[in-house]
Amino acid sequence: MEHIALATGFLLILIGLYGALTQRDILRMIVAFTIANTGVNLVLVAVGYIRGRSAPIINDNLPAAEATARMIDPLPQALVLTAIVIGVGITALMLAYAYKLYILRGSLDISKIKELKW
């Protein structure tokens, strides 16, 4: 059951990569990359899931004492937080690049940016 999340995560990654590598338009590529990122984040979280345990929020119905027995592994979720933030940073940077390239080149076609080669 818990493999569904993992599988969808991987599926999203593959879709993202496929989209990034086939679309000519830069914005579409950025969207594809964000899909891949969300896929990765989903995988991160899915890995930490243990069947039959609750979310790692210590409150009244999950006291600290038996927390380690009843909650899922909290660490991947912590990692996901930083991963998401970094994903946002990079996507913002890519959008800025797309904007600048559009001003400079007037087109968003990736195959037009080929002056640096060999």
Q: Please, which of residues 43-102 interact with other proteins by CB under 8 A?
A: 43-44, 47, 75-76, 79, 82-83, 86, 89-90, 93-94, 97-98, 100-101
Choices 52-60, 61-69, 109-117 (CB under 8 A): range interacting with other proteins? 109-117
DSSP for 16-43, written as a single string:
HHHHHHH--BHHHHHHHHHHHHHHHHHH
> In the complex, what is the shortest distance from the CB of residue 80 to other proteins, in angstroms, rounded to a whole number?
9
* 30 class by beta-carbon count within 10 Å (0-12 exposed, 13-18 middle, 19+ buried): buried
Strand partners, 109: 25
- What number of helices (H) and strands (E) belong to the chain? 4, 0
Terminal CA-CA length for the chain: 49
Choices 40-48, 52-60, 61-69 (CB under 8 A): range interacting with other proteins? 40-48
Q: Give me the residues that bind other proteins (CB under 8 A), please.
A: 13, 17, 20-22, 26, 29, 33, 36-37, 40, 43-44, 47, 75-76, 79, 82-83, 86, 89-90, 93-94, 97-98, 100-101, 104, 110-111, 113-118
